[in-house]
Structure 1
Amino acid sequence: MAAVNVRPLKIARYHGAFEGASKSMINKKRDLKSRNLEDDEYVRQYIQFHYQFQKSEGFAVDWDGFDYAFQIRSLDNPPRGFCTTGSPAEIVREVTLLAIKKQNEAKGTKLVLDEHIQANFQFCNGLMCWLSFWAVDMNSSSTPESKIYQAKLWKRGKEHELLLFRLKPTDQEIASVQVEPPSPLQCEDSEEEAIVFARAGPEDDPGVPFVFRRTGADPGVPFFSYPIGGGVPTVLY
């Protein structure tokens, strides 16, 4: 593929899932901690995860930065026992090729998979996948160029639906995405709200996207803010 790849010298890489991808995280299983609303570190990481997932619209999450499991997981490094019919690498390749096939059929393109970047998933009456990869459209010009594409695909058995297929947005387009605060987190044993979130104010650290407060009988309980890269929390009144 070297003859058709015209890429920047520095490329943001994520967990590899099959041949041609980054190998740094392949076969590296991490036992993630479960949700714990009483743990401030869980809430801090949840805010970080929410921001990254929403900002990238599901396609770019720095999984190395998280010690807790969320509803969305890495398909490159799924939980132990995730699938007994094939390896994660085989599943990622299958859904990526399926997304490319559906796009080619719908748009008349001739995209060819070049290299994997990242795959994320959620159980949603099936498997909802967010896929990022390099691909080449052999119909695009006399000198086809490898570009980053993103696809969102739902699959359950032989059923499937391609919900989104696009070129990776530009840095300016990504920067313009507005991320809303997370929805309140409910208590483990009831539907009562345990933690609520709000957008950080102009007086907060620029690296703080949201602040949170534990609900309870005392309405004077303060909001806490955490810098998105981690650090000491700030109490806001």
Structure 2
Amino acid sequence: MSIEARDTTEFVSPPLKKAKTDPDARELVCPSDPEEEEIEIPAMRNLRNGNWDDPEYAKQRMIFEKQFTESGGYDVDWDSMDYNFPGSIVDSRGDYDARLSNKELMKLLINTAIDEENEEAGTQLKFVKYVTANVVAAKGFLFFITFWAKDLSAPNPEPKCYQAEVLWFMGDADVYEFRLRPTK
């Protein structure tokens, strides 16, 4: 094939896709002042004990299990739940550690996850804002934490939403997962 016979049309790359957003995700709005580190733990909720013979409990339990499983433990619509389930949202109860408030514990767990990610990935992530955390009892407590952070080593250090799965047992934190929050 001669040089003249080749296709010389210029390749034009398609426009970048916009990230999908969840219109119901109020908590995924980045803070207006990303320099301010924020952790606000919600007030304690009074939840009822359930019974499988109660059709409303059975319905909510199925919804909870579906949301918890599909999100990997991170995203549950707790505002629509009235019952205690095997997992719960971290609220103002101070029962996850004898020495630390839940606010202090969340900050410690987030910073541990960020420090480990920075070391492993060579990033310079800095915590910006706490979004939410779910917890299940395990050998200790297993937390599924969603938060905002920004990478100071990136050319554009815009805050991004991250998730970390962290086990807290006898004063030690073990990070099992660290990821960008998937879009829906």
What TM-score does the superposition give when structure 2 sets the normalisation length? 0.75
Identify the residue that residue 119 of structure 1 maps to in structure 2.
133
What is the deviation of 1:139? 0.8
1:72 maps to a residue whose letter is: G
Matched, 1:12 2:30: no
1:35 maps to a residue whose letter is: G
**Cα deviations by residue, 1:99-151 (Å, 9 ceiling, x for unpaired):** 1111111111110001111111111111111011110011111x311101111
For the structure 1 residues 95 and 82, does the alpha-carbon distance in structure 2 shift closer, same or farther, using more than 3 Å as the test? closer
* Amino-acid identity (%): 31
Provide the secondary structure at the position in 2 that maps to 1:54: helix
Following the alignment from structure 2 to structure 1, what is the Cα–Cα distance between the partners of residues 50 and 99?
Answer: 28
Structure 2 portions without partners, runs of 5+: 1-20, 29-36
Structure 1 portions without partners, runs of 5+: 1-7, 172-237
List structure 1 segments (4+ residues) > 4 angstroms apart after TM superposition: 78-83
Provide the secondary structure at the position in 2 that maps to 1:161: strand
User: How much is the aligned-residue C-alpha RMSD, in angstroms?
Assistant: 2.4
Matched, 1:98 2:112: yes
1:90 maps to a residue whose letter is: E
Structure with greater helix percent? 2
Provide the secondary structure at the position in 2 that maps to 1:85: coil
Matched, 1:74 2:70: no
2:174 maps to a residue whose letter is: E
Following the alignment from structure 1 to structure 2, what is the Cα–Cα distance between the partners of residues 135 and 169?
Answer: 15
Identify the residue that residue 55 of structure 1 maps to in structure 2.
70
What is the deviation of 1:56? 1.5
1:34 maps to a residue whose letter is: N
Provide the secondary structure at the position in 2 that maps to 1:136: strand
Identify the residue that residue 59 of structure 2 maps to in structure 1.
44
**Which protein, 1 or 2, shows the higher relative CO under an 8 Å CA cutoff with sep ≥ 6?**
2
Asked if the contact 2:126/2:152 (under 8 Å) is kept, the reply is: yes
Aligned length: 155
